[in-house]
Amino acid sequence: MRKIHDISQPLRPGIPVWPGDRAFEAAWTWRKADGASCNVGHVTMSCHAGTHMDAPYHFADIGATAETIPLEACVGPATVVRLDRLDGVRAERVLIRSGGGVPTVEAVERLRGLKLLGTDGASVDVADSKTLDVHHALARRGVVILEGLDLSAVADGTYQLIALPLRLVGMDGSPVRAVLIEP
């Protein structure tokens, strides 16, 4: 059996969120220990907590929302690469080991045939960006944006990616459970 790597951040209270965004919270609605017939939990969180996809509506008022993210972009061969080795990559899905950096608009525009761009960073743009140029450059090409990956346990190389967003109607993004499967 091929090895499967979970590249999602664990969602738990205290997980870092964008400054000013809603913190992740988890609690119990019912508990068997309190006499209920079953345990039922609930969560409150930002659509951008942990590993997530940005829908174009996140950065454009007339952009598509989370339920329209093309699923065919979210499943298939993916290349994991360091940011400083991004030039020359030829893949439909590219996952960047950012080292704290972000790709430039010029770098992402050189990625031909791209369907999905992921990063282990919190964003594909610099934290203080007001224009989100990389987000817009990717959206113009119909490229799905996957952020907040945990690539610490995988080597650079090619894998099968499965990273499906929730079908959150009208929302600007979605949490994702992302996995890489070794060839």
Catalytic residue among 48, 52, 58, 135: 58
Q: Residue 153, CB half-sphere, CA atoms under 13 Å: how many? A: 12
Place of tokens 């950096």: 101
- Rounded Cα–Cα distance for residues 91 and 4 (Å): 20
Name the band, by pLDDT with cuts 50, 70 and 90, for residue 178. very high
- Rounded Cα–Cα distance for residues 120 and 100 (Å): 9
- Sign, CA dihedral 154-158-162-163, equals positive
pLDDT at 123 over 90: yes
> How confident is the model at residue 83, as a pLDDT?
98
* Domains in the chain: ranges and CATH: 4-8+47-181 (3.50.30.50)
Q: What mean pLDDT comes out for the span 57-63? A: 95
CA torsion angle for 151, 163, 70, 126 (degrees, to 10)? -30
- Determine whether 42 is an active site residue: no
Q: What mean pLDDT comes out for the span 82-108? A: 97
- Rounded Cα–Cα distance for residues 132 and 85 (Å): 22
> How confident is the model at residue 1, as a pLDDT?
82
Mean pLDDT across the chain, nearest whole number? Answer: 97
